[in-house]
Amino acid sequence: MTSVQPASVTRVVVTGATGIAAAVATELASRGAQVFAISRTESSLAELAARVPLAGFAVADLSDEREAERAFSTADDALGGLDGLVAVAGGSGRRLGDGPLHEIPLEGWDRTLGLNLTTTFLAARETIRALLAGGRGGSLLLTTSVLGWSPSPEHFSTHAYAAAKAAIVGLTRTLAAHYADDGIRVNAIAPGLVETPMAARAAQDATILNFAARKQPVAAGILDARDVARLAVPLLDAVSVTGQVVAVDGGWSVSEGRPVVAAR
């Protein structure tokens, strides 16, 4: 097989419309990229479009195969051929029944994986299909979480969510290996605790805020979504990087997060 030369990324689909996704769309647009956003919430898309010059947007539940196919077809047409994806869509499964494993009903497990893992699978599949059909290289950036390998049993015992995010690490690496000769790069970011709508519960809990200040010491607490975007966008366009998972976690994965005990 003749390898396709990796190319820069200028026509990008972003899944999600708030939090990290909104910050990424804003950063991409500021660098001159054409951005198409996909979210299941029309009001969030409208708010994003009012702030960011989007090439277009589509309302879709990306855990539904037909809706995902339709949305990505619309995106490909609007962009004149896409060459990048930042897959952020996902969220907490607490309201769906996620929690400690012994308490999770099967429906809660399935729906949490659908929200986080199936959405990523379908977004990645549709992007890769478009790239292969166009015979062009491109770049995918998936979103996992430090909870996939650095758990917090006291504050974040959502085991279906952690399992889904850990699976995205494996998906990232196997896709990167398989499609490298096609000039398709696949990487992932692994955020820590970030100020997003999903983290609203944590942001209002003094105990968790205190924990975050210790667990994410270089961020001195909850991360700003813009800091994640400032790493995500250059990684999307890094033509010599593939198969990597980069933590943007303020030190979470290298910090014990224990209370500081004053010296006696």
Q: Are 146 and 95 in contact (CB under 8 A)?
A: no
Cβ-based neighbours of 85, under 8 Å, separated by 6 or more: 12, 13, 14, 15, 123, 124, 127, 138, 139, 140, 141
Separation of alpha carbons 142 and 138, rounded Å: 13
The whole domain housing 145 covers 11-246
How would residue 175 be classed by pLDDT, with cut points 50, 70 and 90? Answer: very high
What's the domain count of the chain?
1
Q: Is residue 174 part of a domain?
A: yes
Residue 258 has pLDDT above 80, yes or no: no
Residue 28 has pLDDT above 90, yes or no: yes
More confident site: 144 or 205: 144
Identify the CA nearest to 96 among candidates 159, 41, 154: 159
Q: Which of 57, 109, 121, 161 is catalytic?
A: 161
| 3-class secondary structure per residue, 61-121 | CCCCHHHHHHHHHHHHHHHCCCCEEEECCCCCCHHHCCCCHHHCCHHHHHHHHHHHHHHHH
pTM for this predicted structure: 0.91
Q: 3-state class of 248 per DSSP? A: strand
Q: What is the pLDDT of residue 200?
A: 65
Q: What is the pLDDT of residue 254?
A: 82
Residue type for position 100: P
Q: Is residue 258 part of a domain?
A: no
Residue 2 has pLDDT above 90, yes or no: no
Q: What is the pLDDT of residue 5?
A: 57
Q: Give pLDDT tens digits for 66-101.
A: 999 999 999 999 999 999 999 999 999 999 999 999
Q: What is the pLDDT of residue 215?
A: 81
Q: Is residue 254 part of a domain?
A: no
> How much of the chain exceeds pLDDT 70, in percent?
91
More confident site: 200 or 82: 82
Q: Is residue 106 part of a domain?
A: yes
Q: Is residue 4 part of a domain?
A: no
Tell me the backbone φ, ψ of residue 12, rounded to 5 degrees. Answer: -125, 135
Q: Is residue 252 part of a domain?
A: no
Q: Is residue 259 part of a domain?
A: no
For the question of residue 161 being annotated catalytic, the response is: yes
Beta bridge partner(s), residue 189: 143, 246
Q: Is residue 1 part of a domain?
A: no
Mean pLDDT within 43-54 = 97
* CATH number reported for the structural domain that contains residue 16 in this entry: 3.40.50.720
Q: Give pLDDT tens digits for 157-174.
A: 999 999 999 999 999 999
92-96, 102-106, 206-210: the lowest-pLDDT one: 206-210
Tell me the backbone φ, ψ of residue 246, rounded to 5 degrees. Answer: -110, 120
Among positive and negative, which fits the CA dihedral 14, 17, 21, 23?
positive
More confident site: 259 or 147: 147
